[in-house]
Amino acid sequence: MSGIVDRDRLQDSIRGLIGRHESLRTSFVLVEGEPYQQISADVLFSLEDYESEESGLGDVIGKFARPFDLSEGPLMRVGLIRLSSEEHVLLIDMHHIITDGVSQGILIRDFMSIYGGEAQASLRLQYKDYSEWLRSSGEQSRMEAQRSYWLGAYSELPDELSLPQDYARPRHRTHAGGSVGFRLDAGRTSALRQIGESQGATLFMVLLSAYNVLLSGLSGQEDIVVGSPVAGRRHADLEGVLGMFVNMLCLRNYPRGDQGFSTFVGEVRERTLSSFDHQDFQYEELVEAL
């Protein structure tokens, strides 16, 4: 953050955010072994202050990010690192149980608005309203139809994907990994779009098809499942609500070696559209049912 920072105003703005969004006042308690959301009318919050040189930022961030106690709200902490009188770094750490990617944008937008002194329209819905709606009889009936769809799609489970390995697997699983980045030039991107247009498919569907072919080629298998997240905010009233709405879709496709790529894109299109039509059934419930 470049410029003069009004620390007290910044702290009050965060408190305003916590007052506005029930998710930031939510903790989780166990009652006879079952977790329940507990929304407090008010929670204690104070800004954490640090001073550092730019070279020491990594050490400060390492101390700042630490485990949360889910039974104690807010499940968010905010820190301010002072580098100089006009250079600061704002740190925000939130537990994933109360937030998702879309929520980050909402948080920044509302924070900037409150810090700027703008009036805030009250929220018509909070996350608990979404939770109650999910438990309603009408929604439960709709979920049963979606449940049947996914159980039908996985009535026979696929084999584990057998990919070639450069190294022996460690004895204990970790989530350490890496990423490989590359860019497609305008000509190749245009060609991919044309393939999609010929099958009425989006660029996402074309790239998903290519990824399936890649995995099939590496594994020698023709039954591929790729996970893809969806935002889970299918109603306009949820667009301003902080919370964890994301769901994971298990997109299953069959890249056979005896078909052309364009034909396969058409098949991926149909399965993707059908999966997105049934996107509200939760991945965790599918795993449990299987």
Grouped pLDDT means (10 residues each) for the chain, 290 residues: 94 96 96 93 94 94 94 95 96 95 94 93 92 88 94 96 88 87 95 96 97 97 97 88 95 96 96 96 94
What pLDDT is stored for residue 128 in this prediction? Answer: 92
The predicted pLDDT at position 281 comes to 94
Report d(CA 107, CA 111) in Å as an integer.
Answer: 6
CB-based contacts of 37-44 (< 8 A; 24+ apart in sequence): 37/127, 37/128, 37/131, 38/71, 38/73, 39/128, 40/73, 43/18, 43/73, 43/74
Residue in the structure block whose two tokens are 């202050």? 49
* CB-based contact 265:209 (threshold 8 Å): yes
Task: Please answer whether residues 275 and 266 qualify as being in contact, where contact means their C-beta atoms are separated by less than 8 angstroms.
Answer: no
> For residue 57, what pLDDT is reported?
95
The pLDDT assigned to 126 comes to: 94
At residue 134, the pLDDT reads: 86
Identify whether 170 is preceded by a cis peptide bond (ω within 30 of 0): no
Q: DSSP code of 32?
A: T
CB atoms within 10 A of CB 42: 10
pLDDT of residue 135: 86
List CB contacts of 247: < 8 A, sequence separation 6 or more: 229, 230, 232, 279, 280, 281, 282, 283
Non-local CB neighbours of 16 within 8 Å, separated by 6+ positions = 114, 120
Among 242, 227, 238, which residue's Cα sits nearest to residue 95? 242
- DSSP H or E run through 277: helix 261-277
The whole-model pTM stands at 0.81
Task: Check if the beta carbon of residue 111 is closer than 8 Å to that of residue 13.
Answer: yes
pLDDT score recorded for residue 167: 85
Task: Give the integer Cα–Cα distance in Å for 288 and 151.
Answer: 11
Beta strand 76-84 pairing with 48-51: parallel
Identify the structural domains of the chain with CATH numbers, from first to last: 7-122 (3.30.559.10), 130-159+184-289 (3.30.559.30)
Report d(CA 243, CA 115) in Å as an integer.
22
Task: Identify the bridge partners of residue 31 per DSSP, sorted by sequence position.
Answer: 34
Contacts within 8 Å (CB) and 24+ apart, 128-131: 128/22, 128/37, 128/39, 130/238, 130/241, 130/243, 130/245, 131/37
Residue 263 CA from chain centroid, whole number: 31
